[in-house]
Chain A
Amino acid sequence: MSRFELMEGSKAIAEAVALCRPHVISAYPITPQTHIVEYLAKKVADGETQADFSTVESEMAAASYVLGASAAGARTYTASSSQGILLMSEVLYNLAGMRLPAVITCANRAVSAPLNIWNDHQDSMAVRDAGLIQLYARDAQEAADLHIQAFRISEDSRVELPVMVCVDGYLITHAFEPVELPEQAEVDAFLPPRQTDRKLDPRHPLTFGAFADQAYYMETRFQLHQAVLRSRSVIEEVGADFTKAFGREYGKHVEAYRADDAAALFVGMGSMMGTVEDAVDELRAQGKKVGSLRLRTYRPFPADQICALIKENQKVGVLDKSISMGAGGILASEVRSALHAGSMRTPVTGFIVGLGGRDVTAETISRLLQRLEGPPADAVFVDLKPDLLGDLAETWKSTWETVATTQRS
């Protein structure tokens, strides 16, 4: 009988990770990841979880500890946010390049400067190119479920890549939701112990991390790119198996909500898409044909699934909780790119929302819907306070031009 109780998102994640029986857990505290590792520390201290729980001196150390343990053949886990993800970024590239499995929770948080501890996706976006798999959770239940799937995906012999499970800081980590956790025996049946011959073992010595010069390096990068692309089918397979074992639906990279006959579609990731779905329902009740697409899998990028779910006559608004400074919305640019590759001329407007924990509400969405009536644009920052912008207030207001808007104060 699985447990179904109200719990903090961090606890749901910690319980899910503990159920996966990691050998080695190493993490450095950073808000808002802290509760996850504290719950795990307590489980180890109480003897409920048999893992080496190491309080290391930095995120670079935590990720490196995990890398070493993974290379030795163990099941490993770490968690971080924001500055910590940036500090460990070298190791994330290293894990991917050496094809070492590991599960990393990114409790999504804004990056400095200025310092800000609240949610956005700038941290996980900064490492999107590293060769890891990135999954984005919608809520605490999905956060727990994705971690269990993540270990299996990561260690699959067709994959052998680090998997980053992105969960919105505070919005998931610190919010209390009803979560159903499986039993240990059920997880054991779903997730067998890690098996690999490619490991550090005095009985069968191997050299890991040789340097590859011009004659070899490029092929290894092709191999890595293909490995990430190939993981798509494993993510689907593991998701389908999870559905069979636990009843909750997984396996699709993109979840469509009332998208089929929509005139306007919002595309985004993470917990705000729950709010978007609520807004869609409200707007539909007013007769507006709106829908949404939520990417659960961001890397590998599900370009073809996105194209299949979008129609040329729809207006698409992409919600980026991040930005490539000097360029524009990252998800927006990838969606546009996918549509272009599919010879589709769907207009896409890129919205920058929710940076540094600025709230994304249903009301925001209805204003975005109005903006979609106007010409497509990119990097339209949403819900800024013009009094704080001085001269730039005009620049910002012009991104909303052609549409009469009511500004939030």
Chain B
Amino acid sequence: MKIPTGAVVDPATSLENETGTWRAQVPVYLHEKCTGCRLCEWYCPDNCVVGEGKHFEPDLRYCKGCGICAQVCPVKDIIMQAEAR
């Protein structure tokens, strides 16, 4: 596709870059003890925790498996597992 004048870029086009391929481990949300505090959502550097109420999931297209959500969950309802590919 032709490079536009000044090489300007359209907004939000990074969504095409699915960084989920970076993962070596994946967060597993157990949905057993969730209190709906949303800390997992607040603290995700990739802004890819989605959900509402007491049900949240990582968007696996982007999740890099950093493990912050599992670390910050106050009730330990998220565990990190090695990911088999």
Contacts and interface: CB of A to CB of B under 8 A. Distances in A.
Q: Do chains A and B touch in the complex (CB under 8 A)?
A: yes
A400 to B, nearest CB: 49
The secondary structure that dominates the A interface is loop
B63 to A, nearest CB: 24
Interface residues of B, number: 9
Contact of A100 (B3, B6, B10): B6
Contacts of B11: 205-207
B9 A210 contact: yes
The secondary structure that dominates the B interface is loop
A4 interface: no
A328 to B, nearest CB: 35
Contacts of A98: 6-7
Nearest to B7: A220
A226 to B, nearest CB: 11
Contacts of B3: 216, 219-220, 223
A208 B6 CA distance: 8
Interface string B1-35: 00111111111000000000000000000000000
Interface in A296-353: none
Nearest to A220: B7
Interface in A83-112: 97-100
B9 A198 contact: no
Interface residues of A, number: 16
Nearest to B6: A99
Interface in B16-61: none
Contact of A212 (B5, B7, B10): B7
Interface in A167-209: 198, 205-208
Interface of A: 97-100, 160, 198, 205-208, 210, 212, 216, 219-220, 223
Given A98-B6, A99-B5, A207-B9, 15 more contacts: A98-B7, A99-B6, A100-B6, A160-B5, A160-B6, A198-B4, A198-B8, A206-B9, A206-B11, A210-B9, A212-B7, A216-B7, A219-B3, A220-B3, A220-B7
18 contacts: A99-B5, A99-B6, A100-B6, A160-B5, A160-B6, A198-B6, A205-B11, A206-B9, A207-B8, A207-B9, A207-B11, A208-B6, A210-B7, A210-B8, A212-B7, A216-B3, A216-B7, A219-B3
In the A-B complex, the 10 residue pairs with the closest CB atoms: A99-B6, A207-B9, A205-B11, A98-B6, A210-B9, A206-B8, A99-B5, A220-B7, A219-B3, A208-B8
